[in-house]
Structure 1
């Protein structure tokens, strides 16, 4: 009997707690030991989690994501190709020969393709190949640094400073400090800035993921290995860090920066981008990233909130002048979707911004008449790392309205003319009394 009483009391408590604490407040949060971190929906740029995301820290080799972006852009614009060859100047050779910056080991008086240099940079995080590519594209690393900062501003990044193409501290470069920078300078980025850069890299140049997701490859007769241990298929014990769907993006380490990592993963068509900065070890940067990825996939789900053809209440139609019909139905031209946190499905509404309050015939079916924007009405303000609102779609005319013929327009004008005379006469009579 006592057992049944206990069960009943427990059931009552569970029901009461579900009423007092809605699902959204019960949804599990995530904690990370990284100094700074961010998790982003790679499809929209929506921020799903952040911890001191605007804190500016040295990014170490995550800097190379900008070098990768500019190489991809130069290829797209036809300035170079994957098969373009270059030789190694004294500066990158000195970096390659320095055991403190161990990499692939470059040789002078030898032709290297852009493809091979890029793979060594993106897979093995090689510093010398980054400098060689910078020199090839801009003539010097100093000019390339200017391009890096200009591109960062163009992409909408904030809280950043690029002083070289590699992520090393300038004090490590000896007499090769890029022009326009000082020996005391170091690259700086916030987690939000790194995520913004990663967002544009994976969306503008998805081919970058084919390379960054490669566990091992051959370079100049040797096997080089990826520093991103979360990629499935890594050799040996590194496979223990594997995470299904990871295909990028860039690790980093310097004594000043600590261990950093910008990761990206895709499952069932949903891609996430994470950044962790200032972790204590190589292992921890992946452990903290795993926490963020799990949180994203377990606590968020992409949902279509308002479908294509949705009509907003009290704004189903627009008036039309000079048409065979005096109004036309309006609707969303595309669906509005978002990654929704558990329990927040009802926290979204929609608002219209119409070009005009009245249309003039003819009106074409599908003609854009305004925009519809997704509005979040929950407790925690939502953020996005991209300039444009990703949750805005066209509002369109649902059907066509033909222009009325000249006879009907004339009758309408005559009726309007006499109507105005009648109204004026009535107003004048009212004035007499």
Structure 2
């Protein structure tokens, strides 16, 4: 029986399916660098663990997982060659790319580099070639979020470059479970290395996966997406094997590049042993500052 108190209120797990009772793993021993987190089995009905799991926050390039879901739901051919057109609107943030405007690549390969390497021009191009155009694509992203019951989620662009793309950690568990139904998303998001062959003009570019854990066979990563904006911190959503089951791990807003991967290891250790180990002092200070900022923002909104 859990003892009710502040620690339970901080770490309480939230049901991520409607009308389900709350369930929480005993929180003692679990420390994370990430400010917001959610953990669940892909075939389960409740979160195993939540840390600010219902807080709506920027999700950066984790957005591209919804971009992939909309592309796959559309039924458009993955073998169709698409042109990388010049942006019709400015990018919300730095959108450096090595891809040449006017060149072409197959839709499936564009989706692959958007997921594995977080290529922003690739995600933008997928939206431009949607039947309803760019605006129709963003609408479809929000419609899909509503369909999945992602009540704290909003999208304004397909790349995640906009800080206005926001969701909760619990919502992103739903997104990962939905994306897991598509073998193409599983394959593309966990591709370790890929060389894209463009045409008009003909050239090739190498890409690598932004999640180092996909290179480790012991993790059995089935879906992966990273993200980063200064406002969002370091983010990671992942589905991987754990003791014969598929575990969904959502980690949002960490200080360091390696922090989300370290947290993934801490979660796995905690589930196995009940103790995760410690978090660096700098990461704890970062989380404290971010939580204080969120509390001030919520107080300001409520007072208005």
| 1:7-406 pair list within 5 angstroms | 29-75=29-75, 80-91=76-87, 100-103=94-97, 105-169=98-162, 186-202=164-180, 204-220=181-197, 221-233=204-216, 244-267=219-242, 269-298=244-273
In the alignment, the residues of structure 2 paired with residue 275 and residue 59 of structure 1 have an alpha-carbon distance, to the nearest angstrom, of: 11
In the alignment, the residues of structure 2 paired with residue 284 and residue 264 of structure 1 have an alpha-carbon distance, to the nearest angstrom, of: 17
Higher strand share: 1
> For the Cα contact (< 8 Å) 1:48–1:296, is it kept in 2?
no
In the alignment, the residues of structure 2 paired with residue 123 and residue 65 of structure 1 have an alpha-carbon distance, to the nearest angstrom, of: 10
Query: What residue in structure 2 maps to residue 330 of structure 1?
Result: none
> For the Cα contact (< 8 Å) 2:130–2:136, is it kept in 1?
no
Deviation at 1:278, TM superposition (A): 0.9
| 1:392-431 pair list within 5 angstroms | none
In the alignment, the residues of structure 2 paired with residue 193 and residue 279 of structure 1 have an alpha-carbon distance, to the nearest angstrom, of: 18
SS state of the match for residue 222, structure 1?
A: strand
In the alignment, the residues of structure 2 paired with residue 297 and residue 26 of structure 1 have an alpha-carbon distance, to the nearest angstrom, of: 13
In the alignment, the residues of structure 1 paired with residue 174 and residue 220 of structure 2 have an alpha-carbon distance, to the nearest angstrom, of: 20
> For the Cα contact (< 8 Å) 2:58–2:164, is it kept in 1?
yes
Deviation at 1:107, TM superposition (A): 2.3
Query: What residue in structure 1 maps to residue 295 of structure 2?
Result: none
In the alignment, the residues of structure 2 paired with residue 192 and residue 265 of structure 1 have an alpha-carbon distance, to the nearest angstrom, of: 17
Q: TM-score, normalised by structure 2?
A: 0.74
With over 3 angstroms needed to count, the CA separation of the structure-2 counterparts of 1:297 and 1:215, relative to structure 1, is farther
With over 3 angstroms needed to count, the CA separation of the structure-2 counterparts of 1:106 and 1:222, relative to structure 1, is closer
> For the Cα contact (< 8 Å) 1:93–1:108, is it kept in 2?
no
Deviation at 1:93, TM superposition (A): 10
Deviations 1:88-147 (A, max 9, x none): 22117976xx993234x2223333111110111011101111011111124432221111
> For the Cα contact (< 8 Å) 1:34–1:277, is it kept in 2?
yes
Runs of 4+ in 1 over 6 A off after TM superposition: 24-27
In the alignment, the residues of structure 2 paired with residue 39 and residue 139 of structure 1 have an alpha-carbon distance, to the nearest angstrom, of: 35
Aligned residues: CA RMSD: 2.6
Q: TM-score, normalised by structure 1?
A: 0.53
Could you tell me which runs of 5 or more consecutive residues in structure 1 were left unpaired when the two chains were aligned.
Answer: 1-23, 170-184, 234-241, 300-433
In the alignment, the residues of structure 1 paired with residue 41 and residue 135 of structure 2 have an alpha-carbon distance, to the nearest angstrom, of: 34
Deviation at 1:232, TM superposition (A): 2.4
In the alignment, the residues of structure 1 paired with residue 138 and residue 228 of structure 2 have an alpha-carbon distance, to the nearest angstrom, of: 20
Greater relative contact order: 1 or 2 (C-alpha under 8 angstroms, separation 6 or more)? Answer: 2
In the alignment, the residues of structure 2 paired with residue 297 and residue 212 of structure 1 have an alpha-carbon distance, to the nearest angstrom, of: 26
Deviation at 1:267, TM superposition (A): 4.1
> For the Cα contact (< 8 Å) 2:70–2:137, is it kept in 1?
no
SS state of the match for residue 230, structure 1?
A: helix
Deviation at 1:227, TM superposition (A): 0.4
> For the Cα contact (< 8 Å) 1:259–1:282, is it kept in 2?
yes
Could you tell me which runs of 5 or more consecutive residues in structure 2 were left unpaired when the two chains were aligned.
Answer: 1-23, 198-203, 275-304
In the alignment, the residues of structure 2 paired with residue 146 and residue 137 of structure 1 have an alpha-carbon distance, to the nearest angstrom, of: 11
Number of residue pairs aligned between Structure 1 and Structure 2:
245
SS state of the match for residue 248, structure 1?
A: strand
Query: What residue in structure 2 maps to residue 328 of structure 1?
Result: none
Structure with max Cα Rg: 1
